[in-house]
Structure 1
Amino acid sequence: MAPSFDDGNSLFDFVVRDGNGVKGLVDSGISKVPDQYIQPQQERIDNQNGISHKLPPIDLSKLDGPNHDQVVEEIASAAEKLGFFQVVNHGVPVELLESLKDVAHKFFAQPPEKKAVYCQGVSPSPYVKYGTSFVPEKERALEWKDYINMVYTNDADALNHWPNECKEVALEFLNTSIKMVRKLVEILIGKLEVTVEDSRIDALTGLKMVNMNFYPACPNPDLTVGVGRHSDMGTLTVLLQDGIGGLYVKVEEDIDAGKKGDWIEIPPIPGALVINVGDTLQVVSNGRYKSAEHRVRTTSTQSRVSIPIFTTPKPTEKIGPLPQVVETDGVARYREFAFQEYMNNFFGNAHDGKKSLDFAKLDSA
């Protein structure tokens, strides 16, 4: 019989403070979504409209051949219009991607006490954090998600401090993806028709994190969300989806797949990785590239995993629109700031669409 949570505090303590997470809630035998997870009507995800992103994935191997310029155009166009695209022949072995999904399930299948050792405040490493939802203390409705966040400093620290169940595979995923990220950032900065030193490009991806997200099967997926509306704070995100799906992106301007304001699903493609633009790249490009507002629905049939790599500037890095782009545009749409300020703002508030970008906007923009 499922435990009875007499009030919101007891559920919050069980899920958040004691580290049981949503998985612990589901494993306890609940038959319906608790009130604390029921989203306002306007935040719920209706997946009945059937809108799906039909564009084929971009073949990155063609960057080395006669179709180089065409592929560059495809990448830049996707970054300008939707902020999301999928890539194949990206250099990350498909076998590794399958292993990633396996170790993610293995990590979250552990007893709660094995995962709770990484909760904030008790984790043996400042670079590893296990948690649930996004900012539970600030949210009107909690998100149906557990996660482990692993910050990269160097290979040795990762192998010493990341969880044993997933550290080697997660580290290999990061190391094999970074060359692709570097190439994509070079391409996108190059399409702005500016000259930027290599060190500046490196600085845009100076901090790297691997997350493993777990979305337990949900008794009422229509009432809650796996992740609420948000854009990522960094430069580029690399995401591995499993085959279940549930990732939705908001259309910023009319495209073939939908019109402005629509939410379209990014369907899983075997062997593909999803790339999305973050707030940092929108700021640096002075708004030319769009950080993609996205969200995740839950499923009632089986638990789902996703594994993103977040690439961001280091906290001490100064971020602002590239001067040559501002000169061309005739106006700066964003101010300059230390990235730590942006991180504090981002993690200090619940998900609320692209509101995080307001922190960087100039009043005149």
Structure 2
Amino acid sequence: MVALSTKPAIEQFPYIETCCTTSALFTSTSNSIPLIDLSNPDSKNLLVKACEEFGFFKVINHGVPLESISRLESEAIRFFSLPFSEKEKSGPPSPFGYGNKCIGRNGDVGWVEYLLLNTNQDSNSSLGNNPDQFRFALSEYISAVKRMACEILELMADGLKIQPRNVLSKLLMDEQSDSVFRLNHYPPRPDRISNLIGFGEHTDPQIISVLRSNNTSGLQISLREGSWISVPPDEDSFFINVGDSLQVLTNGRFKSVKHRVLANSLKSRVSMIYFGGPPLSERIAPLPSLMKNPEQSLYKEFTWFEYKRSAYNSRLAENRLMHFERIAAS
């Protein structure tokens, strides 16, 4: 496997000009993050509980071949190890392609470089110096992770006792599903800088996010009372985030989790995230089968296109759903 440099010097990441620091980064490491074995007959109920209490959980016995994970990580590391002049040929990310430092178009920056890709492989025209090999690894990995995401969504539906059980998974399976895939590389931070933000706090706007990273710490999630906890790395498992759209579909029963990444001082972090999204024309509103009289919808109905446009026009840390809450609109 190609190795990324562990040298935490600015020359290893020369295009970072602004170091994002904050003084309010107290965290703790917690072993209470839900761990769910997908082969457990009670996993459907454990998934519901995890989505209600954390909006985040780890899954094992996920069925994604470890060789597929290793193959894509190797390709990602090979790409991020290229000279900047070569990586730059794959950018800018408008909307797909290579980017660095700048996250979105609204002023957010971080200690990160990334590839943002369409899950439709034909749209990914430039993937470094081995595009066919990279494209094969992507296709293999995304297909396996998508199957797992759909299985999890169907188990959630079982746990919520709603029919049909594919009411959520069909949004990802649709040919017009607007799902995206992201590869992030966080170089080691310079020793003289503490609390360096790799990726600022945010929620994911899609339905569900499936995250896997190498064995490097940095990921943190926010608990309901506002404190942050560090997520112990696990390169063989997957971490699942509830997205904003799933929060709306469950009328707030499931909570979209706020999360961020801090740069590690010793090791590079490489993460791979599948964002499962619905078709652009899909109307997002609480599922009628989850609404009990006299329960009212907490949100105005909107299309995924409308919400995506609003989310991508906002700063990372903003409460994007606030603009679609019925209370805010009244």
The TM-score range, normalised by the shorter chain, is 0.7 to 0.9
> Would you tell me which structure has more helix in proportion to its own residues?
1
Q: 1:53 matched to which residue of 2?
A: 31
TM-score, normalisation: structure 2: 0.86
Q: Which moved more, 1:284-293 or 1:327-336?
A: 327-336
Residues in 1 aligned to 2:293 and 2:100: alpha-carbon distance in whole angstroms: 43
In the alignment, is the contact (CA less than 8 A) between 2:201 and 2:260 conserved in 1?
A: yes
Are 1:172 and 2:140 matched, yes or no? Answer: yes
In the alignment, is the contact (CA less than 8 A) between 2:112 and 2:186 conserved in 1?
A: yes
**Aligned partner of 1:360 among 305, 324, 327:** 324
SS at match of 1:186: helix
What is the one-letter code of the residue matched to 1:37? C
Unaligned runs of 5+ in 1: 1-22, 63-67, 253-259
Deviations 1:5-36 (A, max 9, x none): xxxxxxxxxxxxxxxxxx99542669xx85x3
Q: 2:5 matched to which residue of 1?
A: none
In the alignment, is the contact (CA less than 8 A) between 1:133 and 1:227 conserved in 2?
A: no
What is the one-letter code of the residue matched to 2:154? E
Residues in 1 aligned to 2:204 and 2:212: alpha-carbon distance in whole angstroms: 15
SS at match of 1:103: helix
In the alignment, is the contact (CA less than 8 A) between 2:212 and 2:235 conserved in 1?
A: no
Q: CA deviation at 1:319?
A: 0.8
> Would you tell me which structure has more strand in proportion to its own residues?
2
SS at match of 1:271: coil
Structure 1 residues 28, 182: CA separation in 2 closer, same or farther (over 3 Å shift)?
closer
SS at match of 1:305: strand
Q: Number of aligned residue pairs: give it.
A: 315
Unaligned runs of 5+ in 2: 1-7
SS at match of 1:75: helix
TM-score, normalisation: structure 1: 0.78
Are 1:99 and 2:84 matched, yes or no? Answer: no
Query: Aligned-pair RMSD on alpha carbons?
Result: 2.7
Residues in 2 aligned to 1:329 and 1:222: alpha-carbon distance in whole angstroms: 51
Q: How does 1:242-253 map to 2 (within 5 A)?
A: 242-252=214-224
SS at match of 1:138: coil
Residues in 2 aligned to 1:180 and 1:131: alpha-carbon distance in whole angstroms: 28
In the alignment, is the contact (CA less than 8 A) between 1:134 and 1:350 conserved in 2?
A: no
SS at match of 2:271: strand
Structure 1 residues 136, 268: CA separation in 2 closer, same or farther (over 3 Å shift)?
same
Residues in 2 aligned to 1:159 and 1:39: alpha-carbon distance in whole angstroms: 33
Residues in 1 aligned to 2:85 and 2:298: alpha-carbon distance in whole angstroms: 47
Q: How does 1:151-190 map to 2 (within 5 A)?
A: 151-153=118-120, 157=122, 163=128, 164=131, 166-190=134-158
Q: 1:310 matched to which residue of 2?
A: 275
Q: CA deviation at 1:71?
A: 1.6
Deviations 1:188-233 (A, max 9, x none): 2333333247466412562222211010111145242011111101
Deviations 1:95-117 (A, max 9, x none): 22222222211111111222212
SS at match of 1:85: strand
**Aligned partner of 1:129 among 83, 86, 97:** 97
Which structure: larger Rg? 1
Q: 1:81 matched to which residue of 2?
A: 53
Residues in 2 aligned to 1:24 and 1:115: alpha-carbon distance in whole angstroms: 19
SS at match of 2:310: helix
Are 1:27 and 2:16 matched, yes or no? Answer: no
**Aligned partner of 2:20 among 15, 23, 38:** 38
